[in-house]
Structure 1
Amino acid sequence: MIEASIIRAAALRLNPDCDLKKSLISYCEFYGIQAACIISCVGSLRSLTIRFANKSNLTVIEEKFEIISLAGTISQHEAHLHISISDGEGKMLGGHLAEGSLIYTTCEIVIGILDDVVFKRELDSTTGYKELKIYQK
Structure 2
Amino acid sequence: MAETFPRDYHNQGGGGVRCFALRLKPGEEIVSSLRRFVESMKLKAAFVMTCVGSVKKASLRMAHATATQTNEVIHLNDCHEIVSLVGTLNDGGHLHVALSDCEGKVVGGHVLGDMIVFTTAELVIGECESLRFTREFDEQTGFKELTITKDDDGS
TM-score, structure 1 as length reference:
0.93
AA paired with 2:76? Answer: I
> Is 1:117 aligned to 2:131, yes or no?
yes
> Is 1:99 aligned to 2:109, yes or no?
no
Unpaired stretches in structure 1, ≥5 consecutive residues? none
C-alpha distance after superposition, 1:92-124 (max 9, x if no partner):
000011221100010000011112211111111
Unpaired stretches in structure 2, ≥5 consecutive residues? 1-8
Tell me, yes or no, if the aligned pair for 1:12 and 1:108 is still in contact at 8 Å: yes
Q: Which moved further from structure 2: 15-24 or 51-60?
A: 51-60
Identity %: 37
AA paired with 1:59? Answer: I
For residue 58 of structure 1, report the CA deviation from its aligned partner: 2.9
Tell me, yes or no, if the aligned pair for 1:21 and 1:79 is still in contact at 8 Å: no
C-alpha distance after superposition, 1:40-93 (max 9, x if no partner):
100000001111112415321101000000111112x21100000100000000
C-alpha distance in structure 2 between counterparts of 1:68 and 1:17, whole Å:
19
Flag as ranges the 4+ runs of structure 1 deviating above 2 A.
none
Q: Could you tell me which residue of structure 2 aligns to residue 108 of structure 1?
A: 122
C-alpha distance in structure 2 between counterparts of 1:16 and 1:79, whole Å:
23
C-alpha distance in structure 1 between counterparts of 2:121 and 2:130, whole Å:
28
> Is 1:41 aligned to 2:51, yes or no?
yes
> Is 1:69 aligned to 2:69, yes or no?
no
Give the greater-gyration-radius structure (CA): 2
C-alpha distance in structure 2 between counterparts of 1:78 and 1:6, whole Å:
23
> Is 1:20 aligned to 2:35, yes or no?
no
Report the RMSD for the aligned CA atoms in angstroms. 1.2
Match of 2:40 among 25, 30, 34: 30
Tell me the secondary structure at the aligned position of residue 127 of structure 1. coil
Match of 2:16 among 6, 15, 18: 6
TM-score, structure 2 as length reference:
0.83
Q: Could you tell me which residue of structure 1 aligns to residue 150 of structure 2?
A: 136
